[in-house]
A and B are shown apart, each in its own frame.
Chain A
Amino acid sequence: MADLTIRNLKKSFEDIDIIKGIDLDIKDHEFVVFVGPSGCGKSTLLRLIAGLEEVSSGTIHLDDRDITDVAPAKRDLAMVFQTYALYPHMTVRKNMSFALELAGADKAEINRKVDEAAQILELGHLLDRKPKALSGGQRQRVAIGRSIVRHPKIFLFDEPLSNLDAALRVQMRLELARLHHELKATMIYVTHDQVEAMTLADKVVVLNGGHIEQVGSPLELYHHPVNAFVAGFIGTPKMAFLKGKVEKADRAGVTVKLDCGPEYQLPLDGSRLKAGESVTFGMRPEHIEVTAADASPFKVTLDVTEHLGADTFCYVKAQNGETLTVRAGGDYAGRFGEQVGLTPDLAHCHLFDEKGRAVPKPGAPAKAA
């Protein structure tokens, strides 16, 4: 069992509040990813869980045990650092056995556990090397091995892939996902990369400015962001945001007039909106279709197009100067400066009120962070 329960957790450094009251439940076997822009407090939150920082107020429970003030080593957690933090003067075997040695485990037991972890991570042939004789990916694996041998209740990862090159990052990401299935362990993973968050997580925690914006599965965040911040943070390329005004709103739908021209009727529950209110209209690049200029009321000018093979990303400029990104087919051949029309898929569009909160779909329970 490894259920982590965090209640009203706060952390300040001198006068600056870094973590402003966090409540979070992490269930056994879950792969939870903390994601957010730099400075949002995600690493601090992880370090609070690890015990490397002192909590200012609030509690952390692991199962039924209060670990808020327990020493890091006694928490039954293991951490993998961004810089790997291997002991440079020890061999790989020593690096992996250090914790067990300190705990006073017997030699045979230590060797068995190290060999077992080395086998899982394919490190067998590297056990006698020192860290400086290893590649980045191998070092990363040793760092993971060092946590595996301890059989912790929870694994903590602090941006573990950010020092690797792009190809290796994808490979290690897959290995981590596989490891999670193999070990059936609870893992908490911090990253600023929303792609890592989406691909690895059972549950994503989006943090911003020291508080939680939204908690949910990757697809929940993608399809039902609770506010403009989450909507803009999840998904690449970013969701396009356009300013507009409410023309008419009721429980069955909302009519919005965008500042750049077109007017749309959205299947959203507008009971909280009033006519004349300023709103932000959001649509993802993959939910917009590029058409001929005269086939749509939404006319834009093509800026740069990026051909990725399977897709083409078009950067376009609306008549009032607002810019957005649109995903077109791989063989789309638009020219720079060309006039085109856009047709959004209204079923997948989002609307955010003046405070940035999402306008709910009809019948959906209103969820707010």
Chain B
Amino acid sequence: MLTLKQSRRLQTVLIATLAWLVALAIFFPIFWMILTSFKTEIDAFATPPQLFFTPTLENYVHIDERSDYFHFAWNSVVISFGSTLAGMLLAVPAAYSMAFFETKRTKSTLLWMLSTKMLPPVGVLVPIYLLFKDAGLLDTKTGLVIIYTLINLPIMVWMVYTYFKEIPKDILEAARLDGATPAQEIYRVLLPIGKGGLASTVLLSLILCWNEAFWSLNLTASSAAPLTAMVASYSSPEGLFWAKLSAVSTLACAPILIFGWLSQKQLVRGLSFGAVK
């Protein structure tokens, strides 16, 4: 028989092992991608897969010669930040009115907004493609900013709404009695108090925009194409391109990985904010 102390210890060890296994399973593809990007095409294709090899930078050199990384990266940055900014400008007032001037239908409006996220995007691909074509938005950064803003808006409104709900209504009423206009109420009281939650929403939106591939592949060709489109251009049905594909993927993921690493504290706090309470 184990004593209580021993069984507690055993439990801790088991849970820790399990957590490490899950973490490794999630991280492994990224690890393998980075590893492969430093192999030659022959090494990358070898069976059994090689863990030890002579690293090379030839894939990165090749990419630098073949495509303009910074063109795609700049597109990704402009589109992600542009759509996040547009999204926040819409989400904050929407969440403000829903959180502080709630009506009978607020809850169902929120659910309805979120339910649009359950629709498979491919279902509206053709109408949106045609609309974009007529409006001259195909292969433009403006077009992608619009579509990203719209697809992320439900999540952003929902998140900001959840944070605003945590702020006591009294504080806003006090500001109203102090003579604040609705705009002053938002900019001088609500935003400073809710800045932690707003920062999390901004981070999440940036990551979602950066990683989005479906719409960027279907609505852009070259001039507005972000990094996801660049990665896709390296996949080919024939030939040995595993190492180059890994290298380009690594380059596409690197900025957001570093960004995510730097802001992980804020991100975790933000994502678990409403859930724990």
Contact = CB atoms under 8 A, between A and B. Distances in A.
Contacts of B175: 87, 98
A42 to B, nearest CB: 17
Interface in A33-57: 50-52
Nearest to A78: B177
Contact of B176 (A73, A82, A86, A103): A73
A52 B193 contact: no
Contacts of B21: none
Interface in B172-213: 173-180, 184, 188-189, 192-193
B179 A103 contact: yes
Nearest to A82: B170
A146 B180 CA distance: 14
A308 interface: no
A98 B168 contact: no
Contacts of A150: 178
Contact of B170 (A83, A89, A98, A146): A83
A239 to B, nearest CB: 35
Contacts, number: 55
B177 A83 contact: no
A102 interface: yes
B57 interface: no
Nearest to B180: A102
A82 B170 CA distance: 9
Nearest to A150: B178
Interface residues of A, number: 23
Interface in B150-184: 168, 170-171, 173-180, 184
Contacts of A83: 168, 170
Nearest to A152: B177
A85 B170 contact: yes
A190 to B, nearest CB: 14
Interface string B234-271: 00000000000000000000000000000000000000
A73 B176 CA distance: 6
A99 interface: yes
Contacts of B184: 102
B86 to A, nearest CB: 26
A85 B189 CA distance: 11
Contacts of A102: 178-180, 184
A73 B180 contact: yes
A85 B178 contact: no
Contacts of B180: 73, 102
Contact of B173 (A78, A81, A98, A103): A81
A85 B192 contact: no
23 contacts: A52-B173, A72-B176, A72-B177, A73-B180, A79-B177, A81-B170, A81-B173, A83-B168, A85-B170, A86-B171, A86-B174, A87-B171, A88-B171, A89-B192, A89-B193, A98-B178, A99-B177, A99-B178, A102-B178, A102-B184, A103-B179, A146-B174, A150-B178
Shortest 7 CB-CB distances between A and B: which pairs?
A73-B179, A85-B170, A99-B178, A85-B174, A89-B192, A102-B179, A81-B170
